[in-house]
Amino acid sequence: MRTMRNRQVHPTIASALLVDARRRAGLTQEEVARRAGVARPSVSQYENGKKDPSVTNLNRLIQACGMELHLRADHLSEADRAQAFRDAAVGPAEALRNAQRARAGLVQIRRLTPAEKAGSNSLTPDASA
């Protein structure tokens, strides 16, 4: 992670935000690059965590997807602080893969029907077992 003095965003967060915004907008990397006035290889590097954009560039890319970037500083919980240390230990590429796997799991959870959710929250053993 770069220091705020250099106005950089953690590549895992920037990568996830950019990929999500671009996909939700239904745009290609080429379209985002053209709209934002950057080279397409830069968009690819940002999305793959190989390069981290400045806050200014990330905002420009998010706006190119028709969205707004809102930043907020909050105190980290102990769990968030521990995750930040784990991310720093494995490096940006592995941290990005871990975040994408976690996000995929959350997306799957959100797609459960109310009946499925009710069934998955049951703590009592199945009577037929």
User: Is the pLDDT higher at 24 or at 99?
Assistant: 24
- Supply φ then ψ for residue 26, to 5 degrees: 70, 35
Question: What rounded mean pLDDT belongs to the chain?
Answer: 79
d(C-alpha 18, C-alpha 59), whole Å = 9
pLDDT in tens, 20-63: 999 999 999 999 999 999 999 999 999 988 888 999 999 999 99
Residue 7: how many other CB atoms lie within 10 Å? 13
d(C-alpha 20, C-alpha 3), whole Å = 24
pLDDT in tens, 63-81: 999 999 988 877 778 887 8
Give 8's strand partners.
54
Sign of the Cα torsion 44, 46, 47, 49 reads: positive
Three-class SS of residue 54? strand
Burial class (CB in 10 A: 0-12, 13-18, 19+), 93: middle
